[in-house]
Structure 1
Amino acid sequence: MTISRFRQLWTHRYHKYSHIFKAVWLGYMAALKFLILKSELKKGRKLIAIIRTEHFGDIVAAEPLSRHVRSLHPEAYIVWFVKPAFSELVSYNPVINEVFGEFCVTQRRTLLKTGVFDEVFELQFKNNNQCAKCDVFTDNPVAEQRGINVLNYFNFGNLLNVFAKTSGLLPVDESFAGDDKPRLYLQDQHRLKVDSLGVLKPYIVIHCQSNFAPKDWPAARWEQLIEWLTANYNYQIVEIGLKSNLNVSTTSYTNLCGKLTILETAEVIRRANFFIGLDSGPSHLGNATGTYGIILMGALVTFSSYNPYSGGYGSQENAVFVRKEGLACAELSFEFVQDEVKKVLDR
């Protein structure tokens, strides 16, 4: 072994094990905090954990379950576990008592093993329960017992139904019967931020890149679509997301990528006349805000056809899915997408 390789190996091990040590320590500190909290709760009041740490579209899709858990346990102290980057999606939810910003899976596993929580509802399965630094996965026993995993989860319904079943809140052969429209809890600060942007109505919001390449539509076709839209309709085009991969020069286009928080993005979508995007986080914001959605979708891994949404997008009362059975999103032609968009805008 060379000196360089030796240094790399031990540098990796140092960072890995120092991370694990920190995670375990934070887990026990959190357990102590919740033990103290529990001792101060009224006798008989349950301490409940809801675990949905990522991704932000999944957290939005799972929101109805927070209200469902509250209806089952009206007096409970409910804690939602989430990655800090997505905490704003839960922070303003009035049925949640506390948001726990999770450091990593090892911290959570350490905390839960103490048994401080009276009930735990885990709205995810093994592939969502990984810490790359720790190189650790943790299983969800309910999902394991029911055979729900990343290869088959859409066989159990939309995301809301899947999460309800992985948590044990819903029998595996039933569908969620409550109010299934996800809600966002937008604040004045989000509205004021969007006021300051000066985006003129009417406008269409577009979202062109997901966090999973097989869900995407080629940038060149998005550019064609924008050119066609601005030439034929009186709409401004506003792009949202983390970053843009488009080359657009028209003055009718505004790039807000990377400039907004998640809930500020939701407020931009809420004010739009239409949302045109992919099966991705922002489409769930569109569903929650009630903006009509035109969703480009395709076959995904083992699913030739699927529906991730509940609410108005799920029923397609407030959305249209642009897809062809068995084709990936990238395989949808510009002409096909153009025709489907035209049907909606001309309606």
Structure 2
Amino acid sequence: MTIERFIQLWTHRYHKYTHIAKAHLKGRNARAHFRGVKRRLKKGQELIGIIRTEHFGDIVAAEPISRYVREQYPDAHIVWFVKPGFAELVSHNPNVDEVFKEFCVTERRVLLEGNVFDKVFELQFRNNNHCPKCQVFTENPVALQRDINVLNYFDYGNLLEVFAQTGDLIPPKAAFPADDQPRLYLQPSHKAKVDSLGLREKYIVMHCRSNYEPKDWPAERWNQLVHWLAERYDYQLVEIGLESNLNVKTPAYRNLCGQLSILETAEVIRRASFFIGLDSGPSHLGNATGAFGIILMGALNNFLNYNPYSGRYGREENALLVRQAGLPCAQLPFEFVQEQVRSVLEKSADNAPRVLS
């Protein structure tokens, strides 16, 4: 072994075991905290945990569960477990009493081993219960028993229904039994931020790049679509997301990628005339805020025809799911997507006098 390899090995081990030690300490501290919370509860009042830590579209899709659990346990102290980067999605939810910002799954395991919570509804399965630093997975016994995993989960329904099943809130392959429309709880600060952007009164918001390449549509076709929209319609075209990969040359286009928080992005989507995007987190923001969605979708891994949405997007009351049987999103022809977008925009009464060419 070379000295460089020796240093790399022990540096890795140092960071790994330091992380694990920190996770155990934080887990014990969290256990002490929630024991204190439980002592302060009224007699008969239950301490309930809901675990949905990632990703942000999944957390938005799972929001109706917070209302459902509150209806079932009106007096409970409800704690939502979430990764810190997504905490804003649940911190303003009136059905959640406390947000636990999870350090890693090892911390959660140490916490839950103390049996402090009266009930725990785990809304995820193995692939979302992984800490790469600890190099461990945590299993969800309900998901194991029901054979729900990353290879077959859409066989059990939309995301909300899958999460409710993995949490043992509803029977296997059952429909969600309550209001299934996701909601967001936007605050004045989010509205003030978007006010400061100076967006035009009428704009289309676009999300052109997901965090999972098989869900994407090629950048050159997005470029075509943006230029066609700019030439034909009198809308500002606003791109949101983490990072743009477009090369757009039109004054109608504005790039807001990487400039907004999740809920600030949601407020931009809420105000838009239309949302055009992919099957990814921002499309769930569109569903929750009421923006009409034009969602580019396709066959995904084992799922040739799936629908991740509940509520109005799921029923296609407020969305058009753009796809062709058997094709992945990347293979959707530009002309097909163009015609689908045209069919939506030109049904809008607002567009009749605004067609420029």
Pick the TM interval, shorter chain: over 0.9
- Answering whether residue 285 of structure 2 is matched by residue 249 of structure 1, we say no
User: Which residue does 2:222 correspond to in 1?
Assistant: 222
User: Which residue does 2:298 correspond to in 1?
Assistant: 298
User: Which residue does 1:312 correspond to in 2?
Assistant: 312
Matches for 1:43-54 after TM superposition, within 5 Å: 43-54=43-54
Counterpart secondary structure, 1:294: strand
Structure 1: which amino acid aligns with 2:271? R
User: Which residue does 2:61 correspond to in 1?
Assistant: 61
List per-residue Cα deviations over 1:42-80 (Å, max 9, x = no partner).
111100000000000000000000000000100000000
Q: CA RMSD in A?
A: 0.5
Counterpart secondary structure, 1:59: helix
Q: How far apart, in 2, do the equivalents of 1:69 and 1:168 lie?
A: 12
Question: Is the Cα contact below 8 Å between 2:157 and 2:173 reproduced in 1?
Answer: no
Matches for 1:89-238 after TM superposition, within 5 Å: 89-238=89-238
Q: How far apart, in 1, do the equivalents of 2:345 and 2:206 lie?
A: 14
Q: How far apart, in 1, do the equivalents of 2:10 and 2:146 lie?
A: 41
Counterpart secondary structure, 2:295: strand
Question: Is the Cα contact below 8 Å between 2:154 and 2:308 reproduced in 1?
Answer: yes
Structure 2: which amino acid aligns with 1:314? G
Q: How far apart, in 1, do the equivalents of 2:34 and 2:202 lie?
A: 49
Compute the displacement of 1:173 (Å). Answer: 3.2
Compute the displacement of 1:16 (Å). Answer: 0.3
Q: How far apart, in 1, do the equivalents of 2:37 and 2:64 lie?
A: 26
Compute the displacement of 1:37 (Å). Answer: 1.1
Q: How far apart, in 2, do the equivalents of 1:112 and 1:85 lie?
A: 22
Structure 2: which amino acid aligns with 1:256? L
Compute the displacement of 1:231 (Å). Answer: 0.4
Long gaps (5+) in structure 2: 348-357
Q: How far apart, in 1, do the equivalents of 2:306 and 2:337 lie?
A: 18
Long gaps (5+) in structure 1: none
Structure 2: which amino acid aligns with 1:149? N
Q: How far apart, in 1, do the equivalents of 2:23 and 2:136 lie?
A: 12
Q: How far apart, in 2, do the equivalents of 1:49 and 1:228 lie?
A: 48
Structure 1: which amino acid aligns with 2:244? S
List per-residue Cα deviations over 1:173-216 (Å, max 9, x = no partner).
31102100000000100001000000002100000011100000
List per-residue Cα deviations over 1:124-150 (Å, max 9, x = no partner).
000000000000100000000000000
User: Which residue does 2:352 correspond to in 1?
Assistant: none
User: Which residue does 2:27 correspond to in 1?
Assistant: 27
Compute the displacement of 1:158 (Å). Answer: 0.2
Matches for 1:264-279 after TM superposition, within 5 Å: 264-279=264-279
Q: How far apart, in 1, do the equivalents of 2:9 and 2:163 lie?
A: 39
Q: How far apart, in 2, do the equivalents of 1:102 and 1:228 lie?
A: 44
Counterpart secondary structure, 1:18: helix
Compute the displacement of 1:96 (Å). Answer: 0.3
List per-residue Cα deviations over 1:210-234 (Å, max 9, x = no partner).
1100000000000000000010111
Q: How far apart, in 2, do the equivalents of 1:341 and 1:58 lie?
A: 26
Structure 1: which amino acid aligns with 2:128? N
Q: How far apart, in 1, do the equivalents of 2:173 and 2:166 lie?
A: 12
Structure 2: which amino acid aligns with 1:336? F
Q: How far apart, in 2, do the equivalents of 1:244 and 1:201 lie?
A: 23
Question: Is the Cα contact below 8 Å between 2:61 and 2:182 reproduced in 1?
Answer: yes
Counterpart secondary structure, 2:62: helix
User: Which residue does 2:7 correspond to in 1?
Assistant: 7
TM-score, normalised with respect to structure 2: 0.97
Structure 2: which amino acid aligns with 1:213? E
Structure 2: which amino acid aligns with 1:211? N
Structure 1: which amino acid aligns with 2:224? Q
Q: Identity of paired residues, percent? A: 68
Structure 2: which amino acid aligns with 1:158? N
User: Which residue does 2:353 correspond to in 1?
Assistant: none
